[in-house]
Amino acid sequence: MPENAVDASIPLCVDLDGTLIRTDILAESLLLLIKKNPLYIFKLPFWLLKGKAYLKAEIASRISIKPETLPYNTPFLDWLRLKKKEGRRLWLCTATHEIPANAIADYLQIFDGVVATSGARNLSGAAKAKELAEKFSERGFDYCGNEAKDLDVWQAGRGAIVVNGGAGLEKRARKVAQVTEVFPREGSIGRAAVKAIRPQQWVKNALVLVPVGAAHTLTGFPTLLGAITAFFAFSFCASSVYLINDLLDIEADRLHPQKSKRPFASGDLPVAAGFALVPALFILAFCLAAFLPGYFLLVLAGYFILSTVYTFLLKRIPILDALCLAVLYMLRIVAGAVATNVPLSFWLLLFSVFFFLSLALVKRYVELDALRRSGKNNMPGRGYQPEDLMLLEVFGIVSGYLSVLVLALYINSPNITILYRHPKVIWGLCLVILYWISRVWLRTHRGKMHDDPVVFALKDKSSYLLGFISLLILLAAV
């Protein structure tokens, strides 16, 4: 009998988590549950005590997975569709609870049936192997899997298809079954983790150096050491917040043209890795903070709390979300001052609020404009609508110009003579900032702005030139 005829008579059983999709449904369901009501965290241990199947059932009954937003393993899914056309019977066989499993099968429309966790039976590893052997007979099915738990299933089946498993798993699979297809793992989890932490965003935390720089006290070693320690403490804390934000926004990010490429949204980084990275970065940040004055620890805690409230609530409230982002920038400046025992400048804080509010509104404008251009009517997880674009532009430009006005008023205040011998030279800085803000908003209006203005500044040659000119102006004023 021809080989393809034999294949057509043998059902092809397909694992879900990490195989058909580049994520884990239980982990994603936990995120949705926590996002729905964080207090469910306290119920999870009690559900787990009754068994993993019970835990999955309780979670599945409270949330709804959107199959259309999941990151599917495209090359593998295309292969499955080809096999379906060739006459293979496809079965979705997963340890995921039957509610989300059936929803995914209904969405894809390629499976002849679903075998999933239900009742008190958690269909994983040896339990799955036994279930499939009873349903299709020993050696009566081929199985597609991605992890060591699938070795039991491969041993009970006929052929093994290794998906995203790595060379080590493939070698082990060949010892227990005939490996007929291999779909290599795409990308590197390590690189994805670094990308998720966003070290390029740490440049924002250089704001902790602003107070000592503005007060001309950066030359002392203790002060410099305190500022550097504060920088890394804020960086690790901010990265933990980025991870929380990306985890909770995973569904909305998948609907966004750019954010869908983020590590968690794309499936490049497992959600479970985020569960480990968040507390690790948080602990590291507060360990560093312990070496700084007590007030710095309070500011860092305030930053983390406000960031978390922003992630869960404030980001959904128009305008208030942008104001919150501006305050988070300002807290970096406050942290730098308390970490180095430098008095806070009222002028500096006022300037930072208006300046960073303008940049926050740039970010919102770009996101909303991108969705409008793609034909969508609203921002998932946000409170803005396409008709708000003009107002956001007005608010942002006015806020940016007000920051220049604050700087101009500072130049005319008596405070400036303490630090600068030629304060009038700083008028040139007003022109530089005015030009930069105007240029940013012009590019934003034309749809040529990056969705993060800080990233834009880091890649923009003109911004570097203007930064160098600003430094020359300040040196000339001293």
Report the pLDDT averaged over residues 351-380. Answer: 83
Statement to judge: residues 153 and 212 lie in one domain? no
Q: What is the mean pLDDT of residues 433-440?
A: 94
> Is 235 in contact with 277 (CB distance < 8 Å)?
no
- Do 175 and 231 belong together in one domain? no
pLDDT-based confidence at 412, cuts 50/70/90?
confident
Pick the last residue of a domain from 186, 208, 227: 186
pLDDT digits (tens, 9 = 90+) for 356-365: 999 999 999 9
Better-predicted residue by pLDDT, 375 or 147:
147
List the domain range (segments joined by +) for residue 58: 3-186
Q: Are strands 142-145 and 12-14 parallel, antiparallel or unpaired?
A: parallel
Average pLDDT (445-462) is 86
Instruction: Point out the domain boundary residue: 133, 159, 186.
Output: 186
Whether residue 141 is found in the same domain as residue 198: no
87 shares its domain with 161 = yes
Check whether residue 40 and residue 179 sit in a common domain: yes
pLDDT in tens, 193-221: 999 999 988 888 888 888 877 666 655 67
Helix %, strand %, coil % of the chain (to 5): 70, 10, 25
CA distance 14 to 142: 9
Highest mean pLDDT among 34-48, 213-227, 373-387: 34-48
Nearest to 70 by CA among 246, 258, 267, 247: 267
Average confidence (pLDDT) over 294-303: 91
Q: How far apart are CA 61 and CA 447, in angstroms?
A: 42
pLDDT at 377 over 70: no
Q: Taking Cα atoms as reference points, which of 419, 415, 467 lies closest to residue 213?
A: 419
Q: What is the CATH number of the domain that holds 345?
A: 1.10.357.140
Would you give the distance in Å from CA 359 to the centre of its chain?
20
Greatest extent of the chain over all pairs of C-alpha atoms, in Å: 96
Instruction: Supply the CATH number for residue 36's domain.
Output: 3.40.50.1000
pLDDT in tens, 134-143: 999 989 999 9
**Span 229-245, pLDDT tens digits:** 999 999 999 999 999 98
Q: Which of 91-100, 292-301, 330-339 has the highest mean pLDDT?
A: 91-100
Mean pLDDT, rounded, for 150-155 = 94
Indicate whether 202 and 134 sit together in one domain. Answer: no
Q: What radius of gyration, in Å, describes the C-alpha atoms of the chain?
A: 27
Q: DSSP readout, 120-155? A: TB---THHHHHHHHHHH-TT--EEEE-SGGGHHHHH
One domain, residues 58 and 91:
yes
Judge if 172 and 263 occupy the same domain: no
Q: Do residues 86 and 126 share a domain?
A: yes
CA distance 25 to 60: 10
- The residue among 186, 215, 250 that closes a domain is 186
Q: What is the DSSP string of 327-379?
A: HHHHHHHHHHHHHHTPPPPHHHHHHHHHHHHHHHHHHHHHHHHHHHHTT-SS-
- pLDDT value of position 305: 92
| 197 and 150 in a common domain | no
Distance CA 226, CA 228 (A): 6
20 CB neighbour count, 10 Å cutoff: 24
Residue 68 pLDDT level (bands cut at 50, 70, 90): very high
Contacts of 103 (CB under 8 A, 6+ apart): 64, 65, 67
Share of the chain above pLDDT 70, in %: 94
> Do both 101 and 206 map to the same domain?
no
The total domain count for the chain is 2
Looking at the structure, do residues 225 and 174 belong to the same domain, yes or no?
no
Phi-psi region of 164 (alpha: psi -120 to 50; beta: other; left: phi over 0): left
Please tell me the distance from the alpha carbon of residue 368 to that of residue 388, in angstroms, as a whole number.
Answer: 9
